[in-house]
Amino acid sequence: MGLLTIGAFAKACGLSPKALRLYDELGLLPPARVDPLTGYRLYAPEQLEQARLVAWLRRLGMPLARIRRVAGPDAGAAVDEVRAFWAQVEADTAARRDLAAFLVDHLSRKDPTMSSNSPSVGIRYAAASDTGRVRASNQDTAYAGSRLFAVADGYGAHGAPASAAAISALKHLDTDAVPVGDVLNLLDDAVDRARQAVHGVAGTGTGAPADAVGTTLTAMLWTGCQLGLVHIGDSRVYLLRDEELFQITHDHTVVQSMIDDGRLTPEEAASHPQRSLLVRALTQSADSAVDTGLHDARPGDRYLLCSDGLSAVAATDDIHAVLTRVGEPEQAVRELVALANGSGGPDNISCVVADVVELAQR
């Protein structure tokens, strides 16, 4: 079979002539030959397989810049890229679903504030961050103040300043008054500032991909009766309530998406080679949505915010045991760091412990 005209090739592969001209201009799918007299594009039959792949990926919603990586000669890398893209799509969809559920619950409340009969509560807190036993430097940042609690885990050549910049962008919330009804809006605005701060840090490097530097960010804001949450990445928040430990954040990783799909068990995920591969984080170019939530505070609640330097190496039962046994937040964070280091300390370790306590009535 000879060369195909652009019309015949478009019909055969399912792409429009307009799309084929665009993909030629982008270098994604150049024709086999261009007629020097007429300028007509001519395609070889053996190009149909790649053209159909591009058409399928566009139906999947993959951006052209990412298709360029998938359409290369390395089939294994292409498979990994498609899996990672779809994991990100599912994570973003799950985030929107969770946000919709939260908004339904939030808007259904007649009064989002605590009633006058509710006990007066306060909060005690402590933070710790440690390099661990293997890494040469610490790219984590942990912060605990009277209202703001946050953990960020940076990565890339400027990971340490990226995590520090993200949390610094939130620190004004620690001194500003926080109306209960505005807490999520305030956090949303602060995350935008954090994105810009990370963009500034990542922009100091040259020649690297836009997502080569970034950070996770998990933060809670205390209003006096509730805790607002923002979360992106694989740092975590746990809640110890009535001696039971609950993970209240969802990891934004490839393996977690595979667990959600039923393609991987939690036990298999623990040793998966891509267990640290993020599908969402704060980067120079990312616009992935953060997870948000609002949690009513109860006296006796204990919150743990931690980087994966703790959660990925220490058993949940051991974390539970420390949080249950150790009373003071300062001692609790020290023992959690020691727990991670005792398990080898392969990564930086950061944690914040915040206790909701009932205040004495005057």
Encoded tokens for 177: 């008054």
How much is the pLDDT for 273?
Answer: 74
CA distance linking residue 21 with residue 170, whole number of Å: 46
∠ CA 75-82-33, rounded to 5°: 55
How much is the pLDDT for 220?
Answer: 96
Return the axis-axis angle of helices 48-60 and 75-108, rounded to nearest 10°: 10
Instruction: Please check whether residue 33 is in contact with residue 42, taking contact to mean a CB–CB distance below 8 angstroms.
Output: yes
Encoded tokens for 103: 């908004």
Residues 6+ apart with CB under 8 A from 246: 238, 239, 240
HSE-up (13 A, CA, CB side) for residue 55? 18
How much is the pLDDT for 77?
Answer: 76
Please state the three-class secondary structure of the chain as a single string: CCCEEHHHHHHHHCCCHHHHHHHHHCCCCCCCEECCCCCCEEECHHHHHHHHHHHHHHHHCCCHHHHHHHCCCCHHHHHHHHHHHHHHHHHHHHHHHHHHHHHHHHHHCCCCCCCCCCCCEEEEEEEEEECCCCCCCCCEEEEECCCEEEEEEEECCCHHHHHHHHHHCCHHHHCCCCCHHHHHHHHHHHHHHHHHHHHHHHCCCCCCCCCCCEECEEEEEECCCEEEEEEECCCEEEEEECCEEEECCCCCEHHHHHHHCCCCCHHHHCCCCCCCCECCCEECCCCCCCEEEEEECCCCCEEEEECHHHHCCCCHHHHHHHHHHCCCHHHHHHHHHHHHHHCCCCCCEEEEEEEEEECCCC
Instruction: Please check whether residue 204 is in contact with residue 165, taking contact to mean a CB–CB distance below 8 angstroms.
Output: no
How much is the pLDDT for 302?
Answer: 97
CA distance linking residue 338 with residue 209, whole number of Å: 36
CA distance linking residue 68 with residue 26, whole number of Å: 9
CA distance linking residue 337 with residue 194, whole number of Å: 26
Encoded tokens for 163: 């995590």
Beta bridge partners of 358: 121
Beta bridge partners of 41: 34
How much is the pLDDT for 211?
Answer: 61
Which residue bears the tokens 């000879």?
Answer: 2
Walking along the chain (362 residues) 10 residues at a time, the average pLDDT comes out as: 88 89 86 90 91 86 78 74 80 65 58 50 96 96 96 94 96 79 85 92 62 90 91 96 93 85 76 80 77 90 97 95 97 98 96 92 56
Encoded tokens for 120: 């007066």
How much is the pLDDT for 141?
Answer: 98
**Whether the model pTM is above 0.75:** no
∠ CA 72-75-76, rounded to 5°: 120
CA distance linking residue 271 with residue 276, whole number of Å: 10
Pairing relationship of beta strands 4-5 and 236-241 according to DSSP bridges:
unpaired
